[in-house]
Amino acid sequence: MADIHKENVVISSVGQFLDLIADHDIDFWYRGVGDLNFKPSSQVEWRGLDKAKEDTVAYRFLRDYGKYSETESHNPWKVYALMQHHGLPTRLLDWSRSPLVALFFAVTQEPLSEKGHRAIWVLDPHSLNKLVTGLNLIYCPSQMGNRRVFNAHEVGNPDYIAEGGLLWSNFAKSGDETTDIESYSLDEYLPYPLFLLSPSNSLKSFTWEYPLAIEASSLDGRMDLQHSAFTIHGNNNEPLDTFLKRHNRSDILKCIHIEKGAEQAILAQLSKCGINRESIFRDLDSLCKRIISDVLF
C-alpha cells in the first residue's frame, strides 16, 4: 500500500485513493485541482488585489446581494462564505471534508494546459492551526460570539494542551503587561466593509500574516453537499505549500497526483459511489447533464 507521506504518490482509481487515507486517524481536508499550477492560495492572493479593490468587491456585494438572496445576513462570516461560494475573490480557499468530493473536482476541473497534472491536496487542518496559534483547535467564526484567538499557552489554560505558536512570536503588548492577555480578532482578516458589520468593530488594529483552518456556516445549502471547509489567508501573499515549506512543516500538506488518462474511469467509479454532478450541485442543470451522461453516452 502506498504511503500518503511519500513524495509523488500517484493514483489511478478511487480504491487506490481511499487506501491511502483509510488507515489514518487524522481528519484530513481535501482540495481537488485539475492542474497543479492551481496553487493552494486564495483568489485575493493570486489576483494580486490591493486593499482598495478587495474592499470595493465586498462593498458592492453587500450593497446588492439582497436582490438575489431570500435571506440577508448581518453575520460578516456568513456573507464572506457566500461571496466565496459564488466566485468573488476573497481570502478564503475552498476545501472539502469529503475525499470523494475533492476527487470529483480534480478529475472534472479544466486544466491550464494539456500538460497539466491533476491532483488532490491533503491538509491536516488541526496541525496547521497548532503551528500558527499553538492550539489544534478549528475555529468557526460565523458561530462565535467573541471572535478572538487567545494564546492559551501563555494563559496556561488547563482545558487545552497548548504550545507557543507563530502568531505570538511578535505579539505587540500594551503598556500594562500584567492585564494584557495575548489575543487577536479573527474579524481582522475580513475586508473593511464586512469588518464593520459587527457593531463592536470600528478601526482595524492588526494585520493577519498567517493562514488558519476555519469552518463557516452559510446561507447556501450547496456548501453542505460539498462538505465545505476553508483556509483563510493573510497578507503574506504566498501559497500554503510555500508557507509550510518555509517553516519546515511540509508534513501538514501533501499532494496526491492522478495518473494521466484515468479521469473517465475514476468518474465512473465515483458515480457508483453516488458522487456525481447532481449530488454535488443539486440543480436541474446538473440533473439533465447526468441523464445525458447515463443514457446517451
Identify which of 173, 243, 241 has the alpha carbon closest to the alpha carbon of residue 206. 173
Question: What distances in angstroms separate CA 243 from CA 11, 84, 209, 236, one per listed residue?
Answer: 26, 22, 11, 9
Q: What pLDDT is stored for residue 292 in this prediction?
A: 72
Q: What pLDDT is stored for residue 164 in this prediction?
A: 85
CA pair distance 4, 296, nearest whole angstrom: 38
CA pair distance 101, 109, nearest whole angstrom: 12
Q: What pLDDT is stored for residue 113 in this prediction?
A: 79
Q: Are 197 and 79 in contact (CB under 8 A)?
A: yes
* Global confidence as pTM: 0.88
Question: What distances in angstroms separate CA 254 from CA 8, 79, 97, 257, 291, one per listed residue?
Answer: 9, 30, 15, 10, 35
Q: What pLDDT is stored for residue 86 in this prediction?
A: 86
160 Cβ contact partners less than 8 Å away, ≥ 6 residues apart: 135, 137, 152
CA pair distance 163, 172, nearest whole angstrom: 19
Q: Are 244 and 224 in contact (CB under 8 A)?
A: no
Q: Which residues of 153-191 are buried (b: 16+ CB within 10 A; e: fewer)?
A: bbeeeeeeebeebebbeeeeeeeeeeeeebbbbbbbbbb
Q: Are 22 and 100 in contact (CB under 8 A)?
A: no
Q: What pLDDT is stored for residue 286 in this prediction?
A: 67
Q: What pLDDT is stored for residue 268 in this prediction?
A: 92
Q: Which residues of 202-231 are buried (b: 16+ CB within 10 A; e: fewer)?
A: eeeeeebbbbbbbbbbbbbeebeebbbbbb
Q: What pLDDT is stored for residue 172 in this prediction?
A: 59
pLDDT along the chain (297 residues), means of 10: 71 94 88 94 94 96 88 88 91 95 94 86 97 94 92 77 85 53 92 95 93 80 73 94 96 95 94 84 69 70
Q: What pLDDT is stored for residue 289 in this prediction?
A: 72
Give Cα 63 distance to the centre of its chain. Answer: 25
Identify the three-state secondary structure at position 245: helix
Three cell numbers, residue 219: 446561507
